[in-house]
């Protein structure tokens, strides 16, 4: 229904206008995630500004937007509650340094190990999370200070303005693509609400709902430039032990979410970002955050999709979003505060529709039930628990499914050659999962005195395969039978302790590959 890609190429006009649109959508998210983490709203806004500016300038994925995120915020809650915000700043600095090391040691490449069903589950899960997060905008605080669902005229106006926003975003590109449809929708709905004095909640209403009663009247998003300050914590071993667990989790969650978002944008725009460079960019941004009073963050899939959908492709789009956000904080907070929440909810609903991978329903109805299970599992864990946990679970389950499916793929064709020797021609991988089936292929008691195992169509993948071959050779030798092993690599041959003497060497035909074992290190 909604085409998430409206422009394939980057240009200055698209990047600037798209950046303005993203800046408008960053404000309520940054404020909300600041409250999730238990810190002041300005700490979230500073994080959105610094993360967006630095990652857009030096990161590995032009067009991707970073800022304060919910995935990072939930990790911070316990540390802030127990030790205070200064320990959070120290933890964010350390997390940034760890992310830089991940980039320096080129660990970003491991994102390629994430299987396609896990990627689909990640995308669908985040789409659902974004959708559920918007439902909170349909609640208000009553006279007793309790949040309850909207009703009556306010609800009807909210639904109507959300629908109007979505309609503008959908229909305007059919008429012109000169300006981002999302920006036009936000401006139009804002003018409509204030011009007709409609009963609609605005950004400042949302902020006031989150504040204690005594702070509601003076609530504002106006601020000043963030200033440099070393986190006020003792520099000793005890402090390191306090912040290290949080820092490691922040590092992993931030990189997983950022690199998966990078991969998603790569696929959507038919380009390729640089994962290791993005690790460094995220790390530098988080380190700076810790020294300038920000809560840190990572890539934001929702805002990134708004940027891509609005035509933002280059680094200028993210830089513009960050600078415009800073401009709002310093000079134009009242303009941001008056934006109706309905307009921002409508924009995010369009993002949800464009982000959700509707083709995944075909996979679920397909014949590959394992992929469907992994997809559903990752989606569910993303919604119920956490993105990082979901991805790790998805990768582990996918690996186990792969091992299980390939455990029985090893087989042997047998024949008696002209010399009366029995030849086992192996096919399939020999690894920890297939060792048991491998052992069942041989009839040691009834085999002749001369036996050949030919690995021409097989391969030993790990030390379990090596040990299985050694054990088999030992059994044949105990039966007083001669074993011949053909066509294994020189690396495997050097690792065999018992079967090595049975290997027949053929320099021209023997394969060359390394077996996965620490013995070669």
Task: Grade residue 5 by pLDDT with cuts at 50, 70 and 90.
Answer: very low
431 in a structural domain: yes
Is 367 a residue whose pLDDT tops 60? no
- What is the pLDDT averaged over residues 99-120? 85
Domain tally for the chain?
Answer: 2
Label residue 100 left, alpha or beta by phi (over 0 means left) and psi (-120 to 50 means alpha).
alpha
378 in a structural domain: no
328, 344, 364 — which closes off a domain?
364
- What is the pLDDT averaged over residues 174-203? 88
Cα 24 to Cα 99: distance, rounded to the nearest angstrom: 28
Task: Grade residue 521 by pLDDT with cuts at 50, 70 and 90.
Answer: very low
Q: Based on the domain organization, do 89 and 179 belong to the same domain?
A: yes
Task: Grade residue 238 by pLDDT with cuts at 50, 70 and 90.
Answer: very high
Is 8 a residue whose pLDDT tops 70? no
Q: Which residues pair with 455 in a beta bridge?
A: none
Torsion, Cα of 144, 148, 151, 157 (10° steps): 110
377 in a structural domain: no
- Strand order across the beta sheet in which 411-416 lies: 411-416, 422-430, 450-460, 482-486, 503-504
Helix ranges restricted to H, 196-314: 203-210, 213-216, 237-269, 275-291, 301-309
Q: Based on the domain organization, do 333 and 477 belong to the same domain?
A: no
Q: Which residues pair with 30 in a beta bridge?
A: none
Instruction: Return the percentage of the chain with pLDDT > 70, whole number.
Output: 94
383 in a structural domain: no
Cα 427 to Cα 365: distance, rounded to the nearest angstrom: 32
Helix ranges restricted to H, 5-150: 12-37, 41-58, 70-83, 85-104, 116-135
- What is the pLDDT averaged over residues 416-440? 90
At 329-355, the pLDDT tens digits run: 899 888 888 889 898 888 888 878 877
Residue 292's alpha-carbon distances to 18, 33, 476, in angstroms, are 27, 18, 70
Task: Grade residue 391 by pLDDT with cuts at 50, 70 and 90.
Answer: confident
Cα 422 to Cα 381: distance, rounded to the nearest angstrom: 52
- What is the pLDDT averaged over residues 203-230? 83
Nearest alpha-carbon partner for 169 in 3, 398, 409: 3
Q: Based on the domain organization, do 477 and 416 belong to the same domain?
A: yes
At 295-342, the pLDDT tens digits run: 999 999 888 988 998 888 899 999 999 999 999 889 988 888 888 989
Helix ranges restricted to H, 292-340: 301-309, 315-330, 333-337
364, 393, 420 — which closes off a domain?
364
Q: Based on the domain organization, do 217 and 317 belong to the same domain?
A: yes
Q: What is the pLDDT of residue 74?
A: 77
Q: Based on the domain organization, do 182 and 250 belong to the same domain?
A: yes
Q: Based on the domain organization, do 123 and 226 belong to the same domain?
A: yes
Q: Based on the domain organization, do 332 and 473 belong to the same domain?
A: no
4 in a structural domain: no
Q: Based on the domain organization, do 420 and 307 belong to the same domain?
A: no
Q: Based on the domain organization, do 277 and 165 belong to the same domain?
A: yes
- What is the pLDDT averaged over residues 111-128? 81
Q: What is the pLDDT of residue 506?
A: 66
At 41-58, the pLDDT tens digits run: 889 999 999 999 999 999
Task: Grade residue 97 by pLDDT with cuts at 50, 70 and 90.
Answer: very high
206 in a structural domain: yes
CATH code of 494's domain = 3.30.750.24
Task: Grade residue 507 by pLDDT with cuts at 50, 70 and 90.
Answer: low
Q: Considering Cα of 382, then 384, then 388, then 394, what sign does the dihedral take?
A: negative
Rounded to the nearest 5°, which phi and psi values hold at 124? Answer: -65, -40
At 249-302, the pLDDT tens digits run: 899 889 988 998 998 898 888 888 899 999 999 999 999 999 999 999 999 988
Residue 496: domain span? 411-520
Q: What is the pLDDT of residue 6?
A: 46
Q: Based on the domain organization, do 193 and 111 belong to the same domain?
A: yes
Stated as kind and residue range, the H or E segment containing 454 is strand 450-460
Stated as kind and residue range, the H or E segment containing 466 is helix 463-478
- What is the pLDDT averaged over residues 442-450? 93
Cα 310 to Cα 306: distance, rounded to the nearest angstrom: 6
Cα 118 to Cα 125: distance, rounded to the nearest angstrom: 10
Task: Grade residue 448 by pLDDT with cuts at 50, 70 and 90.
Answer: very high
Is 379 a residue whose pLDDT tops 70? yes
175 in a structural domain: yes
Is there a contact between 226 and 46 (Cβ–Cβ < 8 Å)? yes
Higher pLDDT, 303 or 93: 93
Classify each residue of 465-502 as buried b or exposed e, where b means 16 or more C-beta atoms within 10 Å of its C-beta: bbbbbbebbebbeeeebebebbbbbebbeebbeebbeb
Q: What is the pLDDT of residue 158?
A: 94
374 in a structural domain: no
Q: What is the pLDDT of residue 9?
A: 58
Q: Based on the domain organization, do 33 and 121 belong to the same domain?
A: yes
347, 364, 381 — which closes off a domain?
364
Q: Based on the domain organization, do 357 and 417 belong to the same domain?
A: no
Largest CA distance in the chain: 98
Q: What is the pLDDT of residue 478?
A: 92
Is 364 a residue whose pLDDT tops 50? yes
Q: What is the pLDDT of residue 3?
A: 43
Cα 49 to Cα 27: distance, rounded to the nearest angstrom: 10
Cα 250 to Cα 69: distance, rounded to the nearest angstrom: 11
């Amino acid at each position: 229904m909604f085409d998430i890609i409206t422009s394939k190429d980057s240009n200055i006009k698209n990047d600037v206008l798209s950046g303005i649109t993203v800046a408008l959508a960053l404000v309520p998210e940054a404020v909300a995630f600041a409250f999730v983490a238990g810190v002041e709203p300005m700490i979230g806004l500073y994080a959105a500004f610094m993360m967006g500016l630095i990652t857009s300038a030096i990161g590995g994925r032009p067009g991707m937007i970073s800022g304060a995120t919910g995935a990072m915020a939930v990790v911070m809650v316990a540390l802030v509650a127990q030790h205070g915000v200064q320990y959070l700043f120290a933890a964010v600095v350390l997390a940034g340094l760890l992310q830089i090391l991940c980039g320096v040691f080129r660990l970003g490449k491991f994102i390629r190990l994430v299987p396609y069903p896990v990627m689909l589950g990640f995308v669908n899960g985040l789409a659902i999370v974004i959708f559920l997060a918007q439902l909170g905008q349909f609640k208000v605080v009553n006279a007793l200070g309790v949040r309850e669902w909207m009703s009556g005229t306010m609800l009807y106006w909210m639904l109507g303005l959300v629908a109007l926003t979505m309609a503008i975003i959908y229909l305007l590109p059919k008429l012109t693509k000169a300006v981002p449809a999302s920006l036009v929708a936000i401006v139009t709905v804002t003018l409509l609400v204030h011009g007709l004095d409609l009963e609609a909640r605005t950004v400042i209403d949302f902020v006031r709902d989150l504040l204690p009663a005594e702070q509601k009247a003076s609530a504002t998003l106006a601020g000043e430039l963030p200033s440099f300050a070393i986190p006020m914590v003792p520099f000793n071993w005890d402090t390191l032990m306090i912040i290290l667990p949080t820092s490691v989790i922040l590092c992993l969650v931030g990189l997983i979410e950022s690199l998966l978002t990078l991969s998603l944008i790569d696929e959507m725009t038919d380009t390729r970002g640089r994962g290791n460079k993005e690790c460094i960019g995220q790390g530098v941004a988080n380190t700076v955050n810790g020294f300038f009073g920000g809560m840190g963050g990572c890539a934001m899939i929702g805002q990134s999709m708004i940027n891509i959908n609005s035509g933002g492709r280059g680094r200028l789009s993210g830089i513009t979003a960050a600078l415009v956000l800073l401009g709002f904080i310093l000079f134009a907070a009242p303009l941001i505060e008056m934006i109706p929440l309905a307009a921002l909810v409508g924009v995010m609903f369009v993002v949800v529709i464009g982000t959700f991978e509707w083709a995944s329903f075909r996979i679920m109805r397909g014949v590959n039930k394992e992929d469907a299970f992994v997809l559903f599992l990752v989606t569910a864990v993303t919604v119920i628990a956490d993105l990082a946990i979901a991805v790790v679970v998805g990768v582990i389950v996918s690996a186990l499914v792969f091992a299980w499916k390939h455990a029985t793929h090893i087989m042997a064709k047998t024949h008696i050659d002209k010399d009366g020797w029995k030849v086992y021609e192996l096919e399939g991988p020999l690894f920890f999962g297939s060792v048991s089936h491998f052992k069942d292929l041989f009839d040691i008691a009834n085999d002749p005195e001369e036996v050949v195992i030919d690995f021409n169509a097989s391969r030993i993948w790990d030390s379990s395969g090596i040990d299985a071959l050694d054990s088999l050779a030992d059994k044949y030798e105990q039966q007083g039978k001669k074993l011949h092993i053909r066509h294994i690599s020189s690396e495997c041959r050097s690792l065999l302790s018992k079967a090595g003497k049975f290997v027949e060497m053929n320099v021209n035909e023997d394969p060359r590959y390394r077996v996965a074992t620490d013995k070669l290190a």
